[in-house]
Structure 1
Amino acid sequence: MVDISAYVDDAFIGQIGVAKGGRRIIDVQERAQLLEALDGSSYQVSAGGSLSNSIVGVARLGMANSSLTDSGPLRIGMLSVAGSDAQGAFHNAQMQQAGVQLLSSPCPGSATGTVIVMTTPDANRTFMSYLGSSQELQLTAEAEAAISSTRLLIIEGYLWEMQGATKAIGRAISLARGSGATIVLTTGDPGLVARHRQEFWEQLDSGSVDVLFANREEAEQLLGRAVAASQAALELGSMCSVAAITDGPNGSYISALGRLQSIPPFWREHPPMDTCGAGDAYTAGFLYGFLSGLDVASMGRFSARVASAVISRPGACLSAPEARQIVEQIPAIAEQHRHGAILAMADGLSSPIR
């Protein structure tokens, strides 16, 4: 997807027929009308989509670490469904510049999807998504070869909106399992989960998912009821090895092998400017921490810092300078958790036996 990001007021959101903070799928005519209505606004265009934001973040964190430690860069590939239009060429160029290898070619005559991201003064964001040409999700030979040798396969929940998703995702999981890879599933947004709840549960029930990412609203849609983020993490964590549930300003909860970790939010000096991409950034930080061998609590704290960097200014993707700054903090984050664990143990030893 290509993101078109603009700042609007609450009155504008009220006029376009979508709930504030929500997402609605639109056709090409509605997109043209909305862009015309935004004509007087200043907006920026960037390579986007939830998965793109996350893996660009992982790639930039990897490049930052490579420059600091002389280690080799991460090898990251993406099965892209960009169209053969100018927007698709722009998206693919941006991904390649970020160090992401594309594992498919545009379908001739196809149109790239776009997401109009509207941010209000309270840093909330509302999405209007044009999905582009109807393309069938298929695995190329290059993609199958990459999946067969990967350490980690990320499946973006938005894929369920594509034709052929069930077959292609099943094939990808089978190939990744054969190589011993870790399977990661992200849930996208609450509306998506509501529409494709059965598909998500089929993956969870079959034991196909190792790591699940969701926010509290998405977790509630999965579970079918209102629930605290901590409880959601425990319940969904019983279906996979790790479940990370974010809860906005309340931080996040991570259930790992039956143990719950509460991760506080990380705040910068200034209040958030734009929450678009916060969950994608959190996912990027967590996955990079996983690949770097951090413990679960340190992964969570690292993820909170990555998300904080993204929401502190306009734009949904981690920048290269931000990545370098955050990677430099890894030793301090790990030491902070180690010290906290020692204090917790000492407190436990001094407590009366019950």
Structure 2
Amino acid sequence: MTDAKYDVLGIGNAIFDVLVQTDEGFLARHGMTKGGMALIDEARAAAIYKEMGPATEMSGGSGANTIVGLANFGARTAFIGKVKNDQIGSLYTHDIRAAGAAFETRAAEGGPATGCCYILVTPDGERTMNTYLGAAQDLNPADIDDAQIAASRIVYLEGYLWDPKNAKEAFVKAAHIAHSAGRQVALTLSDSFCVDRYRDEFLDLMRKRTVDLVFANETELHSLYQTSDFEGALKQFRTDAKLGVVTRSEKGCVVAGNDGITAVPAFPIERLVDTTGAGDLFAAGFLFGLVRNAGYEAAGRLGALAAAEVIQHIGARPQVSLKELAGQNGLPV
């Protein structure tokens, strides 16, 4: 296996985030399921945006947030995702490159606008997402650069990619190229509603070893196995996944491998502001620990550190140097 040009390459929906702090009433009036992610069309996107209060706007998307977090730690990163050649697409491209990630996916000239996610944050810090995929859903196998995939130690895929058919095919193509080159493939389950839609297919990806590492939160794990029994679900997860990581909010995380379970506590925080990006940044820290060969416990602590940073402010991208923060807390960088 040749040396890798990139530590981690992410493939995901290139989505521009529009965040606003609101109340439960707004969610109820618009028929939103609190804490979930709903796919919406352009008309619904326009209606929600019209009624939202003052917003914070920034580049987002689950996989991209993870890649930006990794770059912030000092990892060599790349991202594959589809935007349109429009104003928001240009902003998105600038943002992810400025964050230190290689981003070479060709923008679409026609078709739907660059995707946007309207994120409503309630006073308890919970985020409710409404996603207009737009150009992101047109990611297809031709956008997968074989050489770039083969040159990445870990290829990281987001479960949301399973919604558009072409993106699903791109996902599988990338996984096969990565394994042919002796690389690893990681998957985040993304959202419990996403798991509800594709439970059998996700289990198939794990059992056939199309993916080597799977990230899930507690809700996603319960959805995957349709049980409220955490220990039972975790036992099955250990059987199905080569390596599994389950985040448990303030309870920290558990890393489930063939050699047993490693529990890692959460990092303390002063105030929960916005949970947007918590799982994405946890994955960034954990993957950074893996590429630094730091071991599962240190990787879990790096993930917990990054998640703690991002939930104490609005938005899913770090506002400080995670590399410096890790160093200050005695963690490997």
Mark yes or no: TM-score above 0.5. yes
Deviations 1:66-123 (A, max 9, x none): xxxxxxxx43221111122211111111001011111310111231111011111111
Q: CA deviation at 1:316?
A: 0.9
> What corresponds to 1:275 in structure 2?
275
Q: CA deviation at 1:234?
A: 3.5
Q: CA deviation at 1:9?
A: 1.1
Secondary structure of 1:202's counterpart equals helix
Indicate the RMSD between aligned Cα atoms, in angstroms. Answer: 1.7
Q: CA deviation at 1:227?
A: 2.6
Aligned counterpart for 1:55 among listed residues 51, 63, 67: 67
2: CA distance between counterparts of 1:95 and 1:180? 27
1: CA distance between counterparts of 2:245 and 2:136? 32
Establish whether residue 288 from structure 1 lines up as the match of residue 288 from structure 2. yes
Q: CA deviation at 1:226?
A: 1.8
Between 207-216 and 50-59, report the one with greater CA deviation. Answer: 207-216
Cα separation, partners in 2 of 1:279 and 1:123, compared to 1, 3 Å = same
1: CA distance between counterparts of 2:189 and 2:313? 25
Contact 2:84 2:108 in 1 (8 A): yes
Deviations 1:258-314 (A, max 9, x none): 31011111112x221111110001000000111111111111112111100000111
Secondary structure of 2:123's counterpart equals coil
1: CA distance between counterparts of 2:137 and 2:307? 32
Q: Percent identity?
A: 29
Q: CA deviation at 1:163?
A: 2.4
Cα separation, partners in 2 of 1:333 and 1:98, compared to 1, 3 Å = closer
Cα separation, partners in 2 of 1:333 and 1:232, compared to 1, 3 Å = farther
2: CA distance between counterparts of 1:133 and 1:20? 26
1: CA distance between counterparts of 2:306 and 2:247? 13
> What corresponds to 1:119 in structure 2?
121
Contact 2:305 2:326 in 1 (8 A): no
Q: List runs of 5+ in structure 2 lacking aligned partners.
A: 1-14
Q: CA deviation at 1:324?
A: 3.3
| Larger RCO (alpha carbons 8 Å, 6+ apart) | 2
> What corresponds to 1:242 in structure 2?
243
> What corresponds to 1:71 in structure 2?
none
1: CA distance between counterparts of 2:159 and 2:68? 17
Cα separation, partners in 2 of 1:186 and 1:134, compared to 1, 3 Å = closer
Secondary structure of 2:240's counterpart equals coil
Q: Which amino acid aligns with 2:19?
A: S
Establish whether residue 102 from structure 1 lines up as the match of residue 116 from structure 2. no
1: CA distance between counterparts of 2:54 and 2:185? 39
Contact 2:251 2:266 in 1 (8 A): yes
Contact 1:234 1:260 in 2 (8 A): no
Contact 1:290 1:299 in 2 (8 A): yes
**Greater share of strand:** 2
Q: Which amino acid aligns with 1:100?
A: A
1:1-354 → structure 2 map (5 Å cutoff): 1-38=15-52, 41-62=53-74, 74-110=75-111, 111-133=113-135, 135-140=137-142, 143-228=145-230, 230-268=231-269, 270-319=270-319, 321-329=320-328, 332-333=330-331
2: CA distance between counterparts of 1:19 and 1:172? 33
Q: Which amino acid aligns with 2:188?
A: T
Cα separation, partners in 2 of 1:4 and 1:166, compared to 1, 3 Å = closer
1: CA distance between counterparts of 2:83 and 2:253? 32
Contact 1:263 1:300 in 2 (8 A): yes
Contact 2:159 2:189 in 1 (8 A): yes
Q: CA deviation at 1:31?
A: 1.0
2: CA distance between counterparts of 1:9 and 1:35? 15
Secondary structure of 1:19's counterpart equals coil
Q: Which amino acid aligns with 2:266?
A: P
1: CA distance between counterparts of 2:16 and 2:136? 16
Structure 1 stretches of 4+ moved >4 Å:
none
Q: Which amino acid aligns with 2:157?
A: I
1: CA distance between counterparts of 2:165 and 2:209? 23
2: CA distance between counterparts of 1:121 and 1:167? 39
Q: CA deviation at 1:327?
A: 2.7
Contact 1:137 1:163 in 2 (8 A): no
Cα separation, partners in 2 of 1:287 and 1:236, compared to 1, 3 Å = same
Q: Which amino acid aligns with 1:31?
A: A
Between 185-194 and 156-165, report the one with greater CA deviation. Answer: 156-165
Q: List runs of 5+ in structure 1 lacking aligned partners.
A: 63-73, 335-354
Q: Which amino acid aligns with 1:308?
A: A
Q: CA deviation at 1:203?
A: 0.7
Corresponding residue pairs, total: 317
Contact 2:81 2:139 in 1 (8 A): no
Contact 1:134 1:163 in 2 (8 A): no
2: CA distance between counterparts of 1:226 and 1:212? 19
The structure with the largest alpha-carbon Rg is 1
Cα separation, partners in 2 of 1:122 and 1:141, compared to 1, 3 Å = closer
- After TM superposition, the score normalised by the length of structure 2 is 0.90
Q: CA deviation at 1:139?
A: 3.4
Contact 2:83 2:136 in 1 (8 A): no
Secondary structure of 2:282's counterpart equals helix
